[in-house]
Amino acid sequence: MTYYINDDEREQLVEDQQQREDEQEPEEGLEQEQEIPRVDTWAAARFITLAGLATGLPFVIHYQLLSGPIVNAILIILLFVVGIRSALLVALIPSLMALAGGLLPLPLAPAVPFIMISNVLFVLVIDYCYKRMKDPQQGYWTGVIVGAGAKFIFLFISVNLIVRIAANQALAPKVAQMMSWPQFATALAGGVIAWAVLRWLKRI
């Protein structure tokens, strides 16, 4: 048997359907609002604090064997506490601040990009070794030692080459000393400091 509906019934059905759709829209809006990611304020606070230390340290401490380990430790702590992106971002800052703060001689300004790359290389090597090795402690220390060596070799070759080409020859001995064993030593010392902090924070 076939049923037919008149125009009034058809209009009523259309109105009922429209009302149901209107009632569903607020619920969908609420679902969309819930999908908005929340900012991790604690992680942001840690990033700002550590980035601020790395930025301001070269203006306060002009002694490489003291500022170097602290900056390297900050980079490692950022890597494990906040993440690799934050660590890589902050890795670009200290060399600029060292130049502005007077720790790095002005004629060495062309070497700043290479110092940035060396810091990035240091962070990447630690991250790679830690993630690839089954033993966390072995991965950490292998990354610190290999990363410190990679940073030292890269800086020693690149910066000394730049000094010979573009900088004042009178600075060559001083630069050779700054970019040689102190880079390796301060990176290792930074690894020791970071290890103590990360163990205290129970991140390793």
Of all residues in the chain, the percent with pLDDT exceeding 70 is: 58
| Contact yes or no for 96/87 (Cβ under 8 A) | no
Q: Domain of 179? A: 41-200
Which of the pair, 35 or 112, is modelled with greater confidence? 112
* Distant-in-sequence contacts of 40-46, Cβ < 8 A, 24+ apart: 43/82, 43/83, 46/81, 46/82
Report yes or no on 149 lying in a domain. Answer: yes
Structural domain includes residue 35: no
In a domain, residue 94? The reply is: yes
Q: How many domains does the chain have?
A: 1
pLDDT in tens, 194-203: 999 999 988 8
Q: Mean of the pLDDT values across residues 74-82?
A: 92
Domain assignment present for residue 108? The answer is: yes
Nearest to 179 by CA among 146, 197, 154: 154
Looking at residues 60-85, what average pLDDT do you find? 86
Sign, Cα dihedral of 122, 201, 193, 56: positive
CATH number of the domain to which 152 belongs = 1.10.1760.20
| Amino acid in the structure at residue 44 | A
Does residue 130 form part of some domain?
yes
Confidence of residue 50 (pLDDT cuts 50, 70, 90): confident
Tell if the pTM clears 0.85, that is, is over it.
no
Task: Grade residue 170 by pLDDT with cuts at 50, 70 and 90.
Answer: low
pLDDT one-digit tens code per residue, 109-163: 677 788 889 999 999 999 999 999 989 999 999 999 999 999 999 988 887 777 7
The answer to whether residue 196 sits within a structural domain is: yes
The reported pLDDT for the residue numbered 159 is: 75
Compute the distance between CA of residue 178 and CA of residue 111 in angstroms, rounded to an integer.
12
